[in-house]
A and B are shown apart, each in its own frame.
Chain A
Amino acid sequence: VRHPTRWIALGVAMVVVVVGVVLATQVGGDPRADATRSQLVGGAAPSFAVRPLEGGTLTRAELAGRAVIVNFWNSWCAPCHAELPALARFWARHRDDPSVAFVGIVRDDTERAVREYVAAKGIDWTIATDPAAKAALDFGTRGQPETFAITPDGVIAGAQIGPSSVEDLETMLAAARGKRR
């Protein structure tokens, strides 16, 4: 090989260029960007079976035909506390609408703490525990609060990672009803 030093320099230069291009194109991207949005929007909602505090089992099949808002939360979670007034205002608007269902699913909490919190805050929408965190897993939740809107025929129409405002909830409900706001 003639001029080996030149070939070595060329090889090193090529590696430097490749590293530079990769860094330049990737440095602005967040490798965990997909953690800030649900991958399930547009797909079929998981068929959950949760246990309402008042007893029995509630399944997604039982809610078919209604637009469903599912909110994952915990009584110890500060962002969930911050979100609570918006949830209460939203439900006050829709509680008398039989085409809408609102279910709060406890993600990782004790039933006793949840009951005390629900009683203290006067929460009047369905609150259910999630045995073995199955529903939380099937919805691909990464924390709490997370909220999903499901169409009457069982498709996830919208999702909110983190606390929802009344506006967010109304937008998701409209999407679940196939309407744009």
Chain B
Amino acid sequence: VRKLAVVPLILVTIVGCTFILQESRSESGLTGIESGLVRGYFGEPISNLSEADLTAFNAGYDLFVKTWPASRLSARNADSCVSCHNIPMPGGSGTDQASLVQVQAEVPPKNRERVLQRLGLTSRNVHRGASVIRTRPLFGLGIIEASGQQRRQSLIGSFGQASTINDFVEVALANELGLSTSHYCARRSVELSYPNECLPEVSDQQVKELAAYIRFLAAPKFSSGKKVGESIFEEIGCASCHVRVVTVAEGDLNYYKQNSFDMFSDLKMHKIRGRWPIRTAPLWALNFFGPPYMHDACANSIEEAVLCHEDEGANSVKRYKQLNVKQQEQILDFLKGL
């Protein structure tokens, strides 16, 4: 089993482009914790921000927690970002029914307007063919954005549908809060054949500030000492996708350059459940963001989340089931301690 598990790890290392998948430090010798990019608890900005960026972060926080009156006038899912992103702090995940959304299953993931409705706000059943998507936490998203820049790939969002946090914010404002931005209005004017007046409800400056808040939210701190569980996690193949260390070598943002993070994600798209491939979810602070767990909220416990993996994750699940009870508990203790 150990040998089998090594094969995908080697493959990922080879194909890993500019990512350095290692358990050592980055070229600068810094880990995320030491550089202040990972903080003690959730909701803090990274610690080495310039004065201008810290000002933008704080302004973005105010917008993030703000209730938008215009949302109440439109077909919207919420009237504030924190309506869904709140566990365990603003910027976090959503765990109750109202923070689960349905997305169309019959459209390509790149389509920008996929969200149908939040669950819990309606008595209607789930739309035919729709998938349920759980609100993902935003902590450390700046690292994922920087990684995307390094790879020249879109990594933001469950389906990797946005390449920058600014783009992600604009889509979320339109889809979830029913708020228009200048880009949204420009797109609408092209799509609609009849005259349409569209005035941005959120200014470009506000979009930038919201993006700054999300970009500079510190990543969760890795604290597990459960080495045995991690070894078994690697042996049964989980680590071939949930790769522990991600190192950002390049990118537009200086803060994240040449730092390593215990993210437990290869940040690649994999088919796990449902129709569309999804980006491997980082496992940092996994236990803080549920229940429910998984992108489609299929699991009410971490063990159920392990067992929920299908398709590309099926082999690892098979190996997990072959472990004895003690080994399974060691893996779960390791995951819970992240």
Tell me, yes or no, whether A binds B: no
Q: Identify the B interface with A (CB < 8 A).
A: none
